[in-house]
Amino acid sequence: MQDSILSPVLALICWTFVMWAWMYATRIPAMRRAGLDARTVKEKKELDVLPRAVRQIADNYNHLHEQPVLFYALAFYTHLAGVADPINITLAWLYVVLRVIHSIYQSMVNFVPVRFALFCLASLALFAIAARDVLTLLTA
């Protein structure tokens, strides 16, 4: 199964669950310390009183529901179209590894220029998979 492009999909989904657990493990205690009652919070800006480190983890969790959606769709297309060759599989794993590094970096350091570079590198892996899939489609 390691030679399947679906394995990196599963890995990123599992990583998203790790970030979900980390988010709530930090957010719930921080909300208690700040005197916030989750049942009464109506707007995200009310959470601005939480420590930046806690918000960074939540921000990353949200980011894992943005661009990775394109990764999931692209990986499934690649699989179903039968173009999940070793290069595309390697690019998919590269994307996942870079997103995990991005998550850890954003959650612990969050120096935006470095985080942006990680995002761009991951994006290039996605672009490469998409370009290879389009070329295969056009030359078939």
The pLDDT tens digits of the residues spanning 17-50 come to 999 999 999 999 998 999 888 788 878 787 889 9
How would residue 2 be classed by pLDDT, with cut points 50, 70 and 90? low
Output the average pLDDT for the chain.
94
Q: Which CATH class is domain 6-139?
A: mainly alpha
pTM for the model:
0.93
Residue 4 has pLDDT above 70, yes or no: yes
The predicted pLDDT at position 43 comes to 81
Q: Are 48 and 27 in contact (CB under 8 A)?
A: no
